Chain A
Amino acid sequence: MNEKQNNHEIIRRMRRKSLRNSLLNYGIVIVVFAIMQTMIATGHISSLLKGLLVPLCVYVIAALSLNLVVGISGELSLGHAGFMCIGAYTSAFFSNVVGDSMPDLPRFILAILVGAVFAGIFGILIGIPVLRLKGDYLAIVTLAFGEIIKNLLNVLYVGVDSHGLHFSTTSAMDLNMEPTGRQIVKGALGISGTPKNSTFTIGVVLIIITLIVVQNLVNSRSGRAIMSTRDNRIAAESIGIPVTKYKLLAFSVSASLAGVAGVLYAHNLATLNTKKFDYNTSILILVFVVLGGIGNMTGSMIAAVILTALPEMLRFLNNYRMLIYAIVLIVIMLFNWAPASLDFRSRMRERLWKKHGSDAEGGR
């Protein structure tokens, strides 16, 4: 075998591996989708689970998007619910203003774009100042931004009449609209009457699109630049990679995808308010990412599904359900991350492997 071919072989192997990993994720999503559709068609699905399908898609997309920041870019963000909130509000606003003047599907597609673009813009605006900070400082500042977004939307009133849009931060009365004017954003009451366009199918399509964006980005020149700044900022600068630019790229793409999750969320409910978008939701999404394995997209999806569905499935446990959730969370973290536990597990594996190996083929 000549050398040139050898080069190609190792590269081909690497490409095959990365392609396999990507395809695996699309495959999982499609298979789960097919199973669910069959269950729905044959009526083998509880109404509880059916109602959960769209929220599951919302959290899967949110987890994938946060993993881009936490796993690939190596920064800690606790404000992702804020970006979801932006996506939800801007898109719900758009859908309400456009109303029936447009058919459902094109309007929803535009709404998704509106949510993604606005969340992305906020990602850039917030990212520029805060990405200079590191670690827990970045975490607390992103948390702060998430809370600020929520707080400000809570006092926002917007109405529309023949003169155009009216804004107020005090009350609906201060909008000074014509009597025929329509109130759209009602302060803490939020936005109601958003068309319920979100379906499981659209949710799955959006998951696939999110996966394509994240995975293709990771396996590209920009992805390498992002990961190089994660692994070693100083070295990345030394080879001419503009660190801030790529941190910002990851952050804003991630914000934009979180915005998409928000759009899906907003168009699944009759009333939208900011309650669901507080720091607890940001934390919840972070839990998905860490539990699924930092940087592991498959893990993020599985963790998001299980941890969203589990508390709902455990409803019969009443008040004990969140207690169990908390204990399980702590135990899993210790099991998966404590060096002592990892040591123990690898020793156990070794012993099992040795036994198995000597039985089967007398060692290698």
Chain B
Amino acid sequence: MAMLDVTKLSISFGGLHAVDDFNLNIEKGELYGLIGPNGAGKTTVFNLLTGVYKPTEGIIRLDGKDITGKSTIEINRAGIARTFQNIRLFKDMPVLDNVKAGFHNHYKYSALTGILRLPRYREIENTMDERSMDILKVFDLDKEADLMAGNLPYGKQRKLEIARALATEPKLLLLDEPAAGMNPNETAELMETIRFVRDEFDMTILLIEHDMKLVAGICEKLTVLNFGRTLAQGVTSEVLSDPAVIAAYLGE
């Protein structure tokens, strides 16, 4: 069964079809790329998948479960986590706490337990700290655990967003331009990390990216969007040599 199964997904804003008849099928463990020129509707697809927008039409299934029309919170609980094109960290919280916030629905104790500092509080906090540090280590952020997230350099902020998303223990991870603003070295390193995350966490990943080197380097399959419609879909090498795709990218 597919991890993500999207059929006939559409949304229009005041008559404008931002995304039209979008179909997508991602198998478990796949690394899938969503590309297209600016304004093609890629981020809108992410917003539809995560419940920020409600689709006018279509069905979204995650691991066989219909999640169409659910709220962002419910969808995260069902197993989709994401990062944002314009970084959205909890800037005035330490790096560690950003990740711990990600564990919110996995390690629970009540507000009263916290206020009264019952034994359960210490116990769960210890576990959360351990696990958060493990995740931070994957992204080489463990040394900066006590810094305020807003004080991290740009590249590390992008990584922290992925770390936070992973803490919600998703089935599907959506990355919105993870390499934006990174230099070639950082991008190469990020590619390694994404691959590592997929293998180590047994993760299914869908990513939006403009950096073709990254896309060609790590994505097994691609979907190309143009003006809200699917231009091409399939194995990466074939899609990238499709004349229609090349034309769209050259801006014809």
Contact = CB atoms under 8 A, between A and B. Distances in A.
Contacts of B92: 227, 230-231, 295
B142 A240 contact: no
B49 to A, nearest CB: 11
A234 B88 contact: yes
Interface in B56-110: 71-73, 76-77, 81-82, 84, 88-94, 96-98, 100-102, 104-105, 107-110
B115 A231 contact: no
Interface in B92-149: 92-94, 96-98, 100-102, 104-105, 107-111, 113-117, 121, 124, 128-130, 133, 137, 142-143, 145-146
Contacts of B124: 221
Contact of B73 (A7, A212, A242, A249): A242
A225 interface: yes
A224 B88 CA distance: 15
A232 B168 CA distance: 16
Contacts of A10: 133, 142-143, 145-146
Chain A interface residue number, banded: 35 or more
B98 to A, nearest CB: 8
| Most chain A CB inside 10 Å of its own CB: which residue of B102, B115, B129 | B115
Interface string A45-82: 00000000000000000000000000000000000000
A223 B114 contact: yes
A211 to B, nearest CB: 11
Contacts of A3: 137
B50 interface: yes
A212 B133 CA distance: 27
Contacts of A224: 93, 97, 100-101, 104
B167 interface: yes
A241 B88 contact: no
Chain B interface residue number, banded: 35 or more
A235 interface: yes
Interface in A196-242: 212-213, 216-217, 219-225, 227-228, 230-232, 234-242
A220 B133 CA distance: 17
Contacts of B110: 222
Interface string A10-34: 1101100100000000000000000
B191 interface: no
Contacts of A216: 114-117
B142 A212 contact: no
Contact of A7 (B105, B117, B128, B130): B130
Contacts of A221: 100, 104, 107-109, 111, 114, 124, 128
B165 interface: yes
Nearest to A11: B129
A10 B147 CA distance: 11
A351 B124 CA distance: 46
Given A11-B96, A14-B146, A221-B109, A240 B133 contact: no
Which 5 A-B pairs rank lowest in CB-CB distance, beginning with the nearest?
Answer: A220-B114, A240-B76, A235-B88, A231-B90, A222-B111
